[in-house]
Structure 1
Amino acid sequence: MSDAAAKRGRVRTRTSVPAVRALERGLMVLEALGGGGDVMLSDVARSTGLTCSTTFRLLETLCQRGYAQQDGDTGRYRLGASAIQIGAAYAAGTPLPEAANGAMEKLVALTNETANLAVLDGPHAVYIHQVESLRSVRMFTELGARTPVYCTGVGKVLLAWRPVEEVSRLLADVEFEKFTPHTIPNLKSFLAELQRVRGQGYAVDDQERELGVRCATAPVRDLRGAVVAAISVSAPVSRFPKKLIAQRAREVACAADAISLRLGYASTSK
């Protein structure tokens, strides 16, 4: 393609565009951090094939821009808030809402309560899709809203199937603010709650974030079986008494399974 054609704005093929080496190396380092968990500089250098000195400079640049962060005690690196925010923005633009919408509409028709879809963003859950009920009094969560994981059903589900060590690191500096008398007070209690969630396959927010509101949540899994989102229904306790928890949990889990199937997950359980 001629320079004149390029200047007129025509799309060039990817193979005709030379890679920017510095950017390519930076992205390799970022991808190494995206594998999950905290890693040493030497681990990143080994996985990328870069020298330790080059890896160090790239990591320092990523830290300065918020795409990576270093633990002051261990020296290990992990993804930073900027990278997580981009990941959350990507999730909002991926087929997740589209894949979930049909099952969420059916769930709302079945329960006559609002359904929400959320993804993980550091120690927060971010709501990326919602199907509202037709009730005049209904629960509403603003899309893009971030809520603490420890006091929400979606937060519990998004963390329940992750390693305990990862959850502990993620919440190490989190202050467990007491929103209601029912809010989980500390990390030890939260880890015990996550164990219960794994055992029963769903989570409940029993007035832990807001008095008078109860919520049932189930995990959405991708092709590999990893939990990539959480689907929930919320309602005032007057419409969602404790005797309905098991039923609502089954309904939400059924919707979550339908979404997971659309994402390519085939459960081996019966």
Structure 2
Amino acid sequence: MTTTTKQKPGRTRSGETGSVRTLERGLSVLLALKDLRRAPLSVLARHVGLSASTTYRLLETLRQQGFVEWEEQSGVYSVGLRAYQVGLAFTERSNLIQSAHPEMEALVRDLNETVNLAVLYGAEAVYVHQVEGRQLMRMFARLGDSSPLHASGVGKVLLAWRPEADVRQKLGDGPYPAYTPRSISTYAALLGELEQVREQGYSVDDEERELGVRCVAVPVRDHTRQVVASLSVSAPTSRFTKDQIAGVAGRMNQAAVQVSTRLGWG
């Protein structure tokens, strides 16, 4: 007669723990490549805080599965086609992006500036879709890039309609990084800014993330009436004056209402 010991829920064997740790490290390498775009082994290893030998083994596994590509002549790694296919699957299933795209194209036609769509992910605003403007000098963020919640138009919109406890949990009590002299750096100032965003129905990044750049962002809601995304337009301050903010925000809110309606809001 043999006896077995029932494993408690939530417990893992040592081998399983090692496999999970390896997976976490592999994903960290893939995310580093997302940020760096192209990098040699030594740079990637420093970026993720792993030894070169460990990083190489992870990269080789990712390369064999098509998530990473390696250029033999230069020794540079980059994101592979399989990773793109995974991202494309998200895009295709996302009703948010499908609902927003026509209105984003209309905004570009009307405003002649690049329009971005961002969602909340942890303590950051992540750009998930973009329609570029036709200006020679365009302000745009790369898809998948993130912005700080306290110092971006999209970030402040994504925070403004959330409970104060949630805001504190995501950002803490401050002080927050000041990217320019105009950045919000204290918790009290942030709460005041978010109240203003709720009152006026849009947020403004007035050179808070980068000097010489102004941004307006508006909320997108779903069928539960929750803010699930933000539409934004950014442009050089020389082309986007303070006098234009209210008019641009009004046009963008018209677009956001259309997107929200497609998502079941109303």
TM-score bracket for this pair, using the shorter chain length: 0.5 to 0.7
* Structure 2 residue matching 1:182: 3-state secondary structure: coil
**1:51-71 CA-partner distances (Å, limit 9, x unpaired):** xx85x769xx99xx79xxxxx
Q: What is the match of residue 258 of structure 2?
A: 258
The alpha-carbon distance between structure 1 residues 231 and 244, as it changes in their structure 2 partners (threshold 3 A), is same
- Report matched runs for 1:107-122 at 5 Å: 107-122=107-122
> CA–CA distance in 1 between the matches of 2:199 and 2:11?
44
> CA–CA distance in 2 between the matches of 1:141 and 1:132?
10
The answer on whether the counterparts of 1:183 and 1:208 sit within 8 Å (CA) in structure 2 is yes
Q: What is the match of residue 136 of structure 1?
A: 136
Residue identity in the other structure for 1:243: D
Q: What is the match of residue 205 of structure 1?
A: 205
Two-structure CA RMSD over aligned residues (Å): 2.4
> CA–CA distance in 1 between the matches of 2:183 and 2:90?
28
> CA–CA distance in 2 between the matches of 1:57 and 1:203?
45
Q: What is the match of residue 3 of structure 2?
A: none
**1:216-258 CA-partner distances (Å, limit 9, x unpaired):** 1100000110100000111000111000010011011111111
Residue identity in the other structure for 2:251: E
- Report matched runs for 1:141-156 at 5 Å: 141-156=141-156
**1:102 and 2:118 equivalent?**
no
TM score, norm. by length of structure 2: 0.66
- Report matched runs for 1:1-270 at 5 Å: 54=9, 92=91, 93-172=93-172, 176-266=176-266
Percent identity between matched residues is 48
Q: How many Å apart are 1:265 and its aligned residue?
A: 0.6
Q: Is there any run of 5+ residues in structure 1 with no aligned partner, and where?
A: 1-21, 23-52, 67-88
Residue identity in the other structure for 2:171: L
- TM superposition outliers: structure 1 runs of 4+ over 3 Å: 89-93
> CA–CA distance in 2 between the matches of 1:192 and 1:222?
25
Q: What is the match of residue 68 of structure 2?
A: none
* Structure 2 residue matching 1:238: 3-state secondary structure: coil
Residue identity in the other structure for 1:157: V
Q: What is the match of residue 41 of structure 1?
A: none
The answer on whether the counterparts of 2:173 and 2:186 sit within 8 Å (CA) in structure 1 is no
The answer on whether the counterparts of 1:91 and 1:119 sit within 8 Å (CA) in structure 2 is no
The answer on whether the counterparts of 2:175 and 2:187 sit within 8 Å (CA) in structure 1 is no
Q: How many Å apart are 1:118 and its aligned residue?
A: 0.1
Q: Is there any run of 5+ residues in structure 2 with no aligned partner, and where?
A: 1-6, 22-86
Q: How many correspondences in the alignment?
A: 189
TM score, norm. by length of structure 1: 0.65
The answer on whether the counterparts of 1:127 and 1:144 sit within 8 Å (CA) in structure 2 is yes
Which moves more between the two structures, 90-99 or 135-144? 90-99
The answer on whether the counterparts of 1:176 and 1:185 sit within 8 Å (CA) in structure 2 is yes
